[in-house]
Amino acid sequence: MAQIQPRHDPQKQQLSHQVAKTTTAVTLGGSLMVLSGLTLAATVIGLVLATPLLVIFSPVLVPAAITLFLILAGFVTAEASEPPPASFSTGCTNTLLESTPSGQTSWTAHARSSPTPRMMLRRGRSSLDSSTLREARELKIAF
Q: What integer pLDDT is reported at residue 99 of this predicted model? A: 54
Q: Are 106 and 128 in contact (CB under 8 A)?
A: no
Q: What angle do CA 90, 94, 95 make, to 5 degrees?
A: 120
Q: What integer pLDDT is reported at residue 77 of this predicted model? A: 85
What span, in angstroms and rounded, lies between the C-alpha atoms of 29 and 135? 81
What span, in angstroms and rounded, lies between the C-alpha atoms of 121 and 133? 9
pLDDT tens for the chain, 143 residues: list them.
556 666 666 666 788 889 999 999 999 999 999 999 999 999 999 999 999 998 999 899 999 999 999 999 988 887 777 665 556 666 666 666 665 555 555 555 445 555 565 666 666 555 556 666 666 666 665 54
Q: What integer pLDDT is reported at residue 95 of this predicted model? A: 67
pTM of the predicted structure, to 2 decimals: 0.37
